[in-house]
Structure 1
Amino acid sequence: MNEGSETCRFLQLWIKPDRRAHKPQYGSSVYDKADRHNRLLQILGGTGEAPAWPNTAKLHSIRLHQDANVFVSESDALTRFELSLGPNRQAYIICIEGDLQVDDVQLDTRDGARITGSSDSGSSPLVLTAGPSGAHFLIVEMEKAASR
């Protein structure tokens, strides 16, 4: 909702539920900037186990009917996150503002990327580094989609 004459910035994501006929659920949460400043804040959690990533706060109050987890961060310039995707996991990364280096891929404002983990039993390293002006970004970590 807009506050007076301020421009509303809106990001909408759709995550398909794990089955039909779930009772609809709605919710909202308010977090302080400190909760996501230079750290990952888990804002949504699903039916599976969330990754044990370093420097993560888990304050989510809304549960998803899917094996997916959503994280957000507002990071200062050159803040670095060393993460890993578990076997058969994937992540969608959206750079909301600023710029973000994801391994060797550069994401600028409003860019996104899909990263897939390995199909074997090992984990796949993933390095995110905020650019010179910092980065506000979102990560959706979830079960790897079936190949088509």
Structure 2
Amino acid sequence: MAQTLLHPATSRGHASHGWLNSYHTFSFAGYHNPQRVHFGVLRVLNDDTVAAGMGFGTHPHDNMEIISIPLSGTLEHKDSAGNHGIIQSGDVQVMSAGTGIAHSEKNHSQTEQVKFLQIWVFPNKRNVQPRYDQQTFRAADRHNQFQQVLSPNPDDAGVWIHQDAWFHLADFDSGFGTDYHVKKPGNGVYVFVLEGDVTINGQALHPRDGFGIWDTASFTVQANSNTRLLLMEVPMSLN
């Protein structure tokens, strides 16, 4: 029988620094909840809003897969390997920190805020060569279907990371229903509701709610209004 957990939007950690308004699904920085440190290898899910012209200065990372998904506005990336990119809604960016890399993430606009998801996933290989990539995805390809934006395979659709993980975005019309089939036995799926209202295996979810489900090969998704979802399938074991 499927195991599940619910993280209502209102239960997330919160930090406001003036230039940054951040909601933490899992323990991060000043927010620590021993019951919410990670979901399998999914370590961080931050819902960030950064003021115009502001951002995160250069800081180091190692042995972590870092994914950025802009929801609105434009985000600028620079790193110590010489990579420079600007991403916006419809884009997905990945950085394998590996042996170590320093980067900055800033709002590219001087007039509008940027909203984006910052996601960290534990890798299945340590001390890899750092790498960076970004891709743009067509909105039409996620209308009433799951659009794969990340996988473990460089030859598969979307960006790739060093982990047996698959991410999908979906824009569902009100009343649309379908099933999600887990890609790898033993994996779980963490669903984050970006917009709208949806029922997953009987659990009603609303904007910014998070829902984890595992010990199942598939589950049902029913949109109760026009809905946008991010599904993150990840291994449940840290080993």
Query: Which band: TM-score by shorter chain?
Result: 0.7 to 0.9
Q: Which residue of 1 aligns with 2:222?
A: 129
CA distance in 1, matches of 2:204, 2:118: 22
Q: Which residue of 2 aligns with 1:100?
A: 198
AA in 1 matched with 2:127: A
Q: Which residue of 2 aligns with 1:13?
A: 119
Q: Which residue of 1 aligns with 2:168?
A: 71
Gaps of 5+ in 2: 1-74, 76-106
Higher RCO, 1 vs 2 (CA within 8 Å, ≥6 residues apart): 1
CA distance in 2, matches of 1:4, 1:79: 39
CA distance 1:4–1:80, shift in 2 (3 Å): farther
The answer to whether the Cα contact below 8 Å between 2:149 and 2:168 also exists between their aligned partners in 1 is yes
TM-score (norm 2): 0.50
Gaps of 5+ in 1: 48-57
TM-score (norm 1): 0.78
Report the CA distance between 1:83 and its aligned residue.
2.3
Larger % of strand: which?
2
CA distance in 1, matches of 2:222, 2:110: 35
CA distance 1:135–1:4, shift in 2 (3 Å): farther
AA in 1 matched with 2:198: L
CA distance in 1, matches of 2:195, 2:113: 15
User: Which of these residues, 84, 87, 97, is aligned with residue 181 of structure 2?
Assistant: 84
SS of the counterpart of 1:26? strand
Report the CA distance between 1:146 and its aligned residue.
5.6
The answer to whether the Cα contact below 8 Å between 2:191 and 2:230 also exists between their aligned partners in 1 is yes
Q: Which residue of 1 aligns with 2:209?
A: 111
Report the CA distance between 1:23 and its aligned residue.
1.2
Q: Which residue of 1 aligns with 2:138?
A: 32
SS of the counterpart of 1:19? coil
CA distance in 1, matches of 2:238, 2:151: 21
The answer to whether the Cα contact below 8 Å between 2:152 and 2:162 also exists between their aligned partners in 1 is yes
Q: Percent of pairs identical after alignment?
A: 27
AA in 2 matched with 1:43: V
